[in-house]
Every structure is written in C-alpha cells, then in structure tokens.
Amino acid sequence: MQLQDILYSQGFGIRRVCSGLVQQGWVEVCVEGEMQRTTDSALDLEPEGLKFRVQGVAWEYYEKGYVLLYKPAGTECSQKPSAHPSIYTLLPAPLRQRPNKNAIQGLQAVGRLDQDTTGLLLLSDDGQFIHRMSSPKKHVPKVYRVAAKHAVTAQMVERLLAGVVLDDDPKPVRAAACVQVDEHTIDLTLTEGKYHQVKRMLAAVGNRVEGLHRWKIGGLELPADMQPGQWRWLTAADLELLRA
C-alpha cells in the first residue's frame, strides 16, 4: 500500500494532504527497526504492523480502530453535545477523522454514558464490533459501581435482581448481578442499556444514584493506571476479554 494511502486510512486527512505531509518531510517510517524519514508519498509498504511518526508523534497502523477511553464526568457521548464538552474532543484528530464507508467518520462510541457517569467507554469504527458489544441480544455484561444516597437494604438488592418495572416498559428489567460493596455502594451488572437505566432502577426501589462509574465490560476491566480523559488502543488480549 502506498504511504499516502496508509496515512489516509489512519485519519491524517484526504490523500492530497497526506501526500503533502510526506513530501514536506513530516513523516518517518520504521524500516528494519529504525525510523527513517521519507519524502516519497508513493512509497510501497506493508501496512500490517507498520510503525511510523507524523510530525514527531508515534503511531501504528490499525486496519480497524478499537479504543478504550476513561470517560470523565461532565462530558457527553455525542458528536454534537448540548451542554457539556464532547468525549470526542479527548481523542487526537486522526482518530476522529478515520475514513468510513458510512456517513460518519472516525471512531464511534459503543453505547453511551450519561454526562455525569464516569468510567470505561469503548470506541471503534468496526460496525460489527459495535453491534456485538451494544446489542441487548448479545447479553454483554457491564458492571457499574453505584453510590446510593440512602443505605442499600437486602430488600432493595432482592428487587433489583427480581426485576423492577420502568415507566416506559411494562416488562420487568432485572440486574444480572448485584453485589453490595458497603452500606451505600453496590456493583450492579446489566446486560442491556436503556435510557438512564441504573438511575431509574434505583429510583424504582426507593433510592437515588449519587455517583455512577462503569468499571467493567465483559471480562475487560478499566485499567487501574488510567486517569479520567486518557485513552489507549485495545490490545488483542483486551479484545479476547471482551469476547469471553
């Protein structure tokens, strides 16, 4: 694949822009373990596993993008936020500009978290992956650390596991698991995602959510060394944990 096409596929702009980056000497590619500057935009390279630098920033080629983001509070999972900054502003421009056959460019959030909810958020440009992770039919477990305003009683836990009725759905919604962490904190596992679901489930049992943090999807946990607002590529091992 030509170098300008590789850069285009990774979100560095239209091909003319990518060609210009190379010709102006802003691109280095890893050849036999060493970074080498090139001005040949038509240079033919094997893209798989290719490491390169653009304007001094290190990158690696990914045919499909799979990213983990530690969503901070006060951000919206929308390209056009209404009242708070978008989570997409936390990503570098190439991840937002990766070309896509669909109308929307760049990585897309796999489901949404409320603006005041923190924690593990996946993003990808792989439509099948997004569907598999977000479809309620796939029953992918998602674990939320819930801080409740009032003490959580055994009866509340029993009702969450048995199922509560939300105002827009006569079918009871059940938690797949509910583990008490302390008097005011539970880990709630859900396999579907309705609008404000955790908050509405707690309200249905006579309590109120004061803080909400998603720390696990499938078998993948939010890394302990990440800080709010940080992102990283998902590894092959991460993807296996999500499939488990």
If asked whether residues 85 and 107 sit together in one domain, one would say yes
SS (HEC) of the chain: CEHHHHHHHCCCCCHHHHHHHHHCCCEEEEECCEEEECCCCCCECCCCCCEEEECCEEEECCCCCEEEEEECCCCECCCCCCCCCEHHHHCCHHHHHCCCCCCCCCCEECCCCCCCCEEEEEEECCHHHHHHHHCHHHCCCEEEEEEECCCCCHHHHHHHHHCEEECCEEEEECCCEEEEEECCEEEEEECCCCCCHHHHHHHHCCCCEEEEEEEEECCEECCCCCCCCCEEECCHHHHHHHHC
Residue 203: domain span? 141-217
**What is the distance between the alpha carbons of residues 4 and 23, in angstroms, rounded to a whole number?**
10
Answer yes or no: do 234 and 131 share one domain: yes
* Rounded to 5°, angle at Cα 232 from 61 and 145: 150
Q: Is 114 tagged catalytic? A: yes
Based on the domain organization, do 149 and 123 belong to the same domain?
A: no
Domain identity same for 123 and 153: no
Q: Are residues 205 and 226 in the same domain?
A: no
Is a pLDDT exceeding 90 seen at residue 55? Answer: yes
The last residue of one of the domains, among 60, 82, 98, is 60
Query: Mean pLDDT across the chain, nearest whole number?
Result: 95
pLDDT (0 to 100) of residue 84: 94
118 plus 235 within the same structural domain: yes
Catalytic-role residue among 5, 114, 116, 182:
114
The tally of domains found in the chain comes to 3
Mean predicted confidence (pLDDT) in 169-178: 91
User: At 198, which CATH number?
Assistant: 3.30.70.1560
pLDDT of res. 169: 76
Do 226 and 125 lie in one domain? The reply is yes
pLDDT, tens only, 106-125? 999 999 999 999 999 999 99
Task: For residue 136, give the amino acid letter.
Answer: P
Q: Tens digits of per-residue pLDDT, 11-33?
A: 999 999 999 999 999 999 999 99
Share of the chain above pLDDT 90, in %: 88
Claim to verify: residue 18 and residue 44 sit in the same structural domain:
yes
Same domain, residue pair 151 and 197: yes
| Pairing mode of beta strands 164-166, 231-233 | unpaired
**CATH code, domain carrying 96:** 3.30.70.580
pLDDT at 50 over 70: yes
CB-count exposure of residue 157 (10 Å: 0-12, 13-18, 19+): middle
Question: Which pLDDT value is given to residue 103?
Answer: 66
Q: Are residues 117 and 85 in the same domain?
A: yes
Residue 41 burial (CB count, 10 A): 19
Output the pTM of the full model. 0.94
